[in-house]
Structure 1
Amino acid sequence: MVNIYRILSLLLSYPSAELQAARAEIETALAGDVLTRTIDKKRAARLLEAVCDTDLYDAQERYVLLFDRTRSLSLHLFEHVHGESRDRGQAMVDLAAHYEEAGFNIAARELPDYLPLLLEFMSTRTPEAAAELLEQTGPILAVLRQRLDKRGSVYANAFWVLEALMKHTVDAAAVQPLLEQDEDDPTDLASLDRIWEDEAVTFLGNSGDAACGPDRLRTALRAHQRSVHNPPQTRE
Structure 2
Amino acid sequence: MSPRVPTLKYSDDQLVRAWQAASILMDYPDEDLPGRLDLLGEVASSLPEKLGSSLVTTIEHLRNRSLVDVQGDYVETFDTRRRGCLFLTYFSNGETRKRGLALLRIKQVYTKAGLVLTDDQLPDHLCVVLEFAATTDLRAGLKIILDNRAGLELLRLHLADIDSPWLGALETVCRTLPALKGKDYEAVQRLAAEGPPDEEVGLEPYGAAALSATPGGMP
TM interval, shorter chain, is 0.7 to 0.9
State whether structure 2 residue 162 is matched by structure 1 residue 165: no
Determine the C-alpha separation between the residues in 2 that align with 1:58 and 1:72.
21
Aligned-residue Cα RMSD (Å) equals 2.5
**2:193 match:** 180
1:195-229 Cα offsets, whole Å, 9 max, x none, are: xx95799xxxxxxxxxxxxxxxxxxxxxxxxxxxx
**1:76 match:** 87
Determine the C-alpha separation between the residues in 2 that align with 1:132 and 1:97.
13
State whether structure 2 residue 23 is matched by structure 1 residue 9: yes
Q: Which one of the candidate residues 107, 111, 122 is aligned to 2:133?
A: 122
Determine the C-alpha separation between the residues in 2 that align with 1:146 and 1:90.
26
Distance apart, 1:167 and its partner CA: 2.5
Q: Which one of the candidate residues 38, 44, 50 is aligned to 2:55?
A: 44
Q: Percent identity?
A: 25
Distance apart, 1:83 and its partner CA: 5.5
Determine the C-alpha separation between the residues in 2 that align with 1:65 and 1:83.
20
**Aligned-partner residue type, residue 178 of structure 1:** L
Aligned CA distance change for structure 1 residues 25 and 126 (closer, same or farther; 3 Å) = same
Aligned CA distance change for structure 1 residues 128 and 76 (closer, same or farther; 3 Å) = closer
Distance apart, 1:42 and its partner CA: 1.0
Determine the C-alpha separation between the residues in 1 that align with 2:147 and 2:195.
22
**1:232 match:** none
Equivalent pair of 1:85/1:200 in contact (CA under 8 Å): no
**1:108 match:** 119
Distance apart, 1:52 and its partner CA: 2.6
Aligned CA distance change for structure 1 residues 90 and 127 (closer, same or farther; 3 Å) = closer
Aligned CA distance change for structure 1 residues 152 and 137 (closer, same or farther; 3 Å) = same
Determine the C-alpha separation between the residues in 2 that align with 1:79 and 1:21.
32
TM-score, normalised on structure 1? 0.70
Determine the C-alpha separation between the residues in 2 that align with 1:105 and 1:148.
30
TM-score, normalised on structure 2? 0.75
Determine the C-alpha separation between the residues in 2 that align with 1:92 and 1:182.
19
> Structure 2 stretches of 5 or more lacking a match?
1-14, 203-219
Determine the C-alpha separation between the residues in 1 that align with 2:187 and 2:100.
23
The worse-fitting range, judged by mean Cα deviation, of 76-85 and 63-72 is 76-85
> Structure 1 stretches of 5 or more lacking a match?
184-196, 202-236
Q: Which one of the candidate residues 31, 42, 46 is aligned to 1:28?
A: 42
Distance apart, 1:126 and its partner CA: 5.3
Distance apart, 1:96 and its partner CA: 1.4
Determine the C-alpha separation between the residues in 1 that align with 2:142 and 2:103.
21
Moved over 6 A (4+): none
**1:142 match:** 153
Q: Secondary structure at the match of 1:169?
A: coil
Distance apart, 1:50 and its partner CA: 1.2
Distance apart, 1:118 and its partner CA: 0.6
**2:106 match:** 95
Q: Secondary structure at the match of 1:104?
A: coil
> Larger Cα Rg: Structure 1 or Structure 2?
1
Distance apart, 1:176 and its partner CA: 0.7
Aligned residues: 185
